[in-house]
Amino acid sequence: MKPKIKICGLTRECDIDYVNEAGPEYIGFVFADSRRQIDETGAAHLKSRVKSGVSAVGVFVNAPTEQIIRLMQNGTIDIVQLHGQEPPTYVEEIKRRIIGPVIKAVRIGEEEYPSALYEEYANSGADYFLFDSGTTGGGYGGTGVAFDWNRIPKTPLPYFLAGGLHAENIGEAVSYAKPYAVDISSGVEKDGVKNRDKILEIIRRIRDV
């Protein structure tokens, strides 16, 4: 089965035009501290331009739960992605108060979760994991660096694969790791911003795998 596709870190109206043309299943708005960070007003405006059938994921790092609840309830986002050190109890609280999927990100190379912890996240209501590159600078992803896919753990949930994915390695990544979905950000950028041709090309390659 072909993996679903998420294009993350959208900040401009033209970014929305690009994804509306390309047709990924997911887009991502980053609310955490990042060069791709967007505020709530900007994200709501961009979400209003997204064509039907594309789900908006909100990316958070140790955020107040009230912010997440607000953005879900007002329709700015459809899915929650937790990219910090949020424990299973945090996921439980979110799931008690919203109807919608939760993705728990794990930075491979930095966070060596025991298998029991993956089970705890699944039991707390998480719907997916996301595996991203570990960083040496204390960041939370979006580095454009791939990790060793052999280190992907066996988990009770389907997962998104992120970290340094681009047109040249996406075919190998999909064939080897067989993720539920792929999450791409810097791999579809040129000069630090999203690029229409790169988005169209990587989506074409994914669907040709």
Domain ranges of the chain: 4-208
Active site residue 15: no
CA distance 178 to 159: 9
State both tokens at 53.
Answer: 């059938």
Phi, psi of 146 (to 5 degrees): -85, 160
Residues in the chain: 209
Whether residue 56 contacts residue 76, with contact meaning beta carbons closer than 8 Å, is answered with: yes
List, as one string, the DSSP characters of 14-54. HHHHHHHHH--SEEEEE-SSSTTB--HHHHHHHHTTSPTT-
pLDDT at 146: 86
pLDDT at position 200 over 70: yes
Distances (CA, A) of 45 to 13, 29, 59: 9, 12, 17
Distances (CA, A) of 104 to 101, 157, 161: 10, 10, 12
pLDDT at 143: 57
209: pLDDT confidence band, cut at 50, 70 and 90? confident
Secondary-structure class of domain 4-208 per CATH: alpha beta
Catalytic residue among 127, 132, 148, 183: 132
Which helix (H) or strand (E) is 116 found in, with range?
helix 115-124
pLDDT at position 103 over 70: yes
Catalytic residue among 8, 15, 78, 183: 8
Task: Tell me which amino acid residue 63 is.
Answer: A
144: pLDDT confidence band, cut at 50, 70 and 90? low
pLDDT at 2: 92
Tens of pLDDT along 34-92?
999 999 999 999 999 999 999 999 999 999 999 999 999 999 999 999 999 999 999 99
pLDDT at 191: 95
pLDDT at position 170 over 80: yes
pLDDT at position 135 over 70: no
State both tokens at 38.
Answer: 């967007």
136: pLDDT confidence band, cut at 50, 70 and 90? very low
pLDDT at 133: 86
Active site residue 14: no
What's the average model confidence in pLDDT over 127-149? 73
Instruction: Tell me which residue of 44, 137, 140 sits closest to 83, measured CA to CA.
Output: 140
pLDDT at position 120 over 90: yes
137: pLDDT confidence band, cut at 50, 70 and 90? very low
Which helix (H) or strand (E) is 106 found in, with range?
strand 102-108
- Outline where DSSP puts E strands in 70-139: 79-82, 102-108, 128-133
